[in-house]
Structure 1
Amino acid sequence: MSYILNIETATKNCSVALAKDGKTVLCKEIAEEGYSHAERLHVFIEEIINEAGIQMKDLAAIAVSQGPGSYTGLRIGVSAAKGLCYALNIPLIAVDTLQALASKVTITEGLIVPMIDARRMEVYSAVFSAALEKKREVLAEVIDEDSFKDFAEKLYFIGDCNEKCKIVLAKENFIFLDEIKYPSANEMSSLSFDKYKKSDTVDVAYFEPYYLKDFLITTSKNKKAE
């Protein structure tokens, strides 16, 4: 029996889930405009451990969403995960944020395109099969009418930038699932357990989140480079 604590803070959703052998036991989360991760994260962790009737020493590993996503959100989640791993002397597991988001979709055909909002028309995205196999690597990209034009299959778009993207992504095979907005620690449970069974862990001392942020440097006529 393996308990894994899953932490997801890459977006506005601050989410924590306790899983036993890959199945979520408890999950607490809240998505707020003001990014309340610093205030909520440790409270959620403490509440989940207490409500589950276990102790921190019962945890076999800590899993954290590795990004891409919010710089501040990722730092908070990774710092908390590292601290717990050091204190408990247990392994750290890094889970692809976009894969966790894609895990919210159940389809039998077509492809899943999870996207996380950056700003303006910029997003972090990847493409997954119905079986969650990665068909296109994670990219930081500016969305326009030609984005994803090489895919003939049905594409199911999910994430927190659907509203702005559907304005330009108007092809017949593009389907927007607006109800699926943020990644959650709940979907990390099976992904982290699969990695745990394979001893697919990261170095606690040297692990850094996957920010994928450099492409956001822009210039304008009236402003210096941001």
Structure 2
Amino acid sequence: MKILSVDTSATAASVALSEEGKLIGETFINTSLTHSQTLIPMVEQLLNNTKTEISDIDAIAVNAGPGSFTGVRIGVAAVKGLAFANNIPCVSVSTLESMAYNFLSTDCIVCAVMDARCSQVYNALFEIKNGVVTRLCDDRALSLDDLKNELLSVDGRIIIAGDGTDITCKYIGNEIKNAESAPVNLKYQRASSTALVAFEMINNGQTVSAQKLMPVYLRLPQAQRELNKKLGGRTK
């Protein structure tokens, strides 16, 4: 089974091609160019370099959120287009869960964090033991203060990963002695890890059609929150 995987959920972007859990190729960039400029050329280059036709792909996976509203929309829209045109099933992967799969070789607690602005992060915790990932909580948006208080009660080695790593580590300072920042080569979500999550989900029958694939948001967009605030409605 060949899986094409995509991540555009934050500043970095990546695409990967895998087969039966084996990585065939991956492209990763972390530039100021918008994902709308880079994503499709990256997909085309990867398929060309691996001598793969889109008709050879059995499933397309995407980090569907949480993350940047614009980035998530671009990734999901691109995958929907590719999948719909070629009748390929899709896999909706949690961005935070894909980060945990960067650490399969390390027994630890992965604290996946993405900058949600306003002193908040998108977060989930995962335990890695003997190469098996166990989710400890749902994906959520919470304040840095609430996250710090929760981590104070977590035993064992904690690795903080994601584009919210620096702000999280700065906020908790030296208060959590068993917490550390992920090394730079493992800090960010990558499409190759998205593929690992997707492979397990496909084996469990967790695919969706292109029509049903949707972005996953944990908060309303800023513009909508500001409008709702003016109207006295929901602001989170």
Same fold by TM (over 0.5)?
yes
Helix, strand or coil at the partner of 2:4: strand
1:154-208 CA distances to partner (integer Å, 9 max, x unpaired)?
A: 3211111222222232211222224233201011222212222232102321321
Aligned partners of 2:91 and 2:206 also within 8 Å: yes
Match of 1:165 among 165, 168, 171: 168
So what's the TM-score if we normalise by structure 2?
A: 0.85
Compute the displacement of 1:147 (Å).
4.0
Displacement of 1:42 in angstroms is: 0.4
Cα pair 2:124 2:140 within 8 Å, conserved: yes
Q: 1:16–1:109: structure 2 CA closer, same or farther, 3 Å change rule? A: closer
Residue aligned with 2:61, SS: strand
- Runs ≥4 in structure 1, deviation > 3 angstroms? 106-110, 214-218
Alpha carbons of structure 1 residues 3 and 215: separation in structure 2 relative to 1, 3 Å: closer
> How large is the Cα RMSD of the aligned pairs?
2.2
Report which stretch shifted further, 20-29 or 178-187: 178-187
Question: 1: CA distance between counterparts of 2:140 and 2:57?
Answer: 33
C-alpha separation in 1, matches of 2:149 and 2:58? 45
Structure number with higher helix proportion: 2
Residue 139, structure 1, aligned to residue 140, structure 2:
yes
Q: Deviations over 1:103-125 (max 9, x none)?
A: 11245543111111111421101
**Following the alignment from structure 2 to structure 1, what is the Cα–Cα distance between the partners of residues 191 and 212?**
23
* Residue identity in the other structure for 1:7: V
Matches within 5 A, 1:209-224: 209-214=215-220, 217=225
Q: Please tell me whether the aligned partners of residues 63 and 94 of structure 1 are also in contact (alpha carbons under 8 angstroms).
A: yes
> What is the identity percentage for the equivalent residue pairs of Structure 1 and Structure 2?
29
Unaligned runs of 5+ in 1: 219-224
Length, aligned pairs only? 219
Does structure 1 retain, via aligned residues, the 8 Å contact 2:9–2:72?
yes
Structural mapping, 1:99-178, within 5 Å: 99-106=97-104, 108-130=106-128, 131-144=132-145, 145-169=148-172, 170-178=175-183
TM-score (norm 1): 0.88
